[in-house]
Amino acid sequence: MNSRFASQMRKRTADERAEDARAPSKEYKLVKIPTGRGGNDNKKQREPRRVLTDEEKAARLAAMQQDNVHWRDDVRAKNVARGRVEDEEEKVEADKNGYAPSFI
């Protein structure tokens, strides 16, 4: 310690020490924030997944393929309808204005 500051320092009284003990701690501590992921609680471990049989796998695959077929049909129908509307609009535009001279 520097001798100049040593003369200015004094011992704390019992009241000051008690007041510091009642004051909130100035230490930084890590706080656990719940993430909703279960954490590291080793007491209760999840039950392992049941392995699917070949029949169950085949049934799930068939269901997914059937859903995919319906989805693709819907998308295809929307695309065809949109194409028809665009073709009709193009035909109306061509009938109204005539074809451009550069149109081949």
CA distance 40 to 91: 67
Helical (H) or strand (E) element with 94: helix 54-97
| pLDDT attached to residue 79 | 97
Cα-based torsion angle of the residue sequence 21, 23, 25, 31 in order, rounded to the nearest 10 degrees: 130
Residue 47's pLDDT band (cuts 50, 70, 90): confident
Higher pLDDT among residues 59 and 50, named by residue: 59
Has residue 48 got a pLDDT over 90? no
